[in-house]
Structure 1
């Protein structure tokens, strides 16, 4: 799965976040993103129905790689994997979660924002981590500084990434992809305007391809 995931991100280095409390809406949103060229989806566990939404996307769509985000504990990691998560994203770095994912061969993007956290992730055996919250943690300059020290590490900046600065983040060679919620605006989803979601996805793909010809 890791190789397939990395290949997908190399083609479209953007991971949209879906935060939903309705499975039908979650599936429609995922399909709209897929139609726009974004085939890797992160469903964030920020609602009581999030795991149901993630499972629905995994079962009711095709051609998508679906993961779970905002995973805080090993118990949550076990649940989302059992219900179809193909990768896991955490806001921070927890040894037990990292060890579980490594043992199960589940790709993990654990959150880091300091050199100490990145070094800890490296020591645990991780080679790709989330950089969060990207804008508050120093943005592109911080990523460049970390990359110069941790030459084997790759990063997925999330938090404050938008269409306006996406190209700047993707221009950093160590960035594997960027995560972001700007691709799933709540007002458009509430209005059922899924064409707008597809349009945002296409714009993100175009930015990615321009930043990485």
Structure 2
């Protein structure tokens, strides 16, 4: 079994800086659910070839932790994070697997406080101003807006920019090529997350091309 990587605990300011850096590198963060273990490396390689090197591996399948471990060991140049982290136990598991960042679909007080003690930066999920304020009181300043389009999309982000001027978001859920540029044009959006580029039914080169096409929209 892969041993947990020993890392010093970071301050919240350092964690915010780390999130900012990985989002700047990502611009588009693929949200990946691994259906088969044999897909782990081909999927990552196709995304990498298309220019996407910051990967969120969700725990929506039983292969999530395995994928994080293998990618950290076999593709060390990629930045590999864990998504769909729902509680303290999942947080401990992904930290042990070597996740470099953590993403949750929503926020609970227990998860937010557990992540404060973790050496790995977390991007907590929020869907309302009230949820932002709960995280804000604990020091969080970077959030995942989910599900972004259902929550009001770019109009909601513009509105939230008023009372929360120092908050930045990674909107996920309903983001795709048709609205990608509108999201990324907002000053409080760091990067976006999505899965539209992950369809491998036409082969791994289609994933590579979809990734490259998405990034080209931002150039």
2:154 is aligned, of 118, 140, 156, to: 140
What is the CA deviation profile of residues 122-179 of structure 1, one whole-angstrom value per residue up to 9, with x for unaligned ones? 1111110000000100000001101111011100100000011110110111101100
SS at match of 1:121: helix
1:74 paired residue number: 88
Question: CA distance change for structure 1 residues 5 and 113 in 2, over 3 Å: closer, same or farther?
Answer: closer
Q: What secondary structure does 1:52 align onto?
A: helix
Aligned pair count reads 205
With over 3 angstroms needed to count, the CA separation of the structure-2 counterparts of 1:38 and 1:91, relative to structure 1, is same
CA distance in 1, matches of 2:80, 2:88: 18
Gaps of 5+ in 1: none
1:165 matched to 2:179: yes
In structure 1, C-alpha distance between the alignment counterparts of 2:22 and 2:93, rounded to whole Å = 25
Q: CA RMSD in A?
A: 1.6
1:37-186 map, 5 Å: 37-185=51-199
Separation in 1, partners of 2:211, 2:135? 31
SS at match of 1:183: helix
Which stretches in structure 2 are left out of the alignment for 5+ residues? 1-13
User: Offset at 1:105?
Assistant: 3.2
Q: Distance in 2 between matches of 1:89 and 1:155?
A: 12
Is this contact kept in 1: 2:31–2:58, CA < 8 A?
yes
- Preserved CA contact (<8 Å) 2:81 2:101: yes
> Aligned partners of 1:17, 1:88: CA distance in 2, in Å?
12
Tell me the distance in 2 between the aligned counterparts of 1:62 and 1:36.
17
Match of 2:207 among 197, 205, 210: 197
TM, length-normalised to structure 1: 0.90
Q: Secondary structure at the match of 2:68?
A: helix
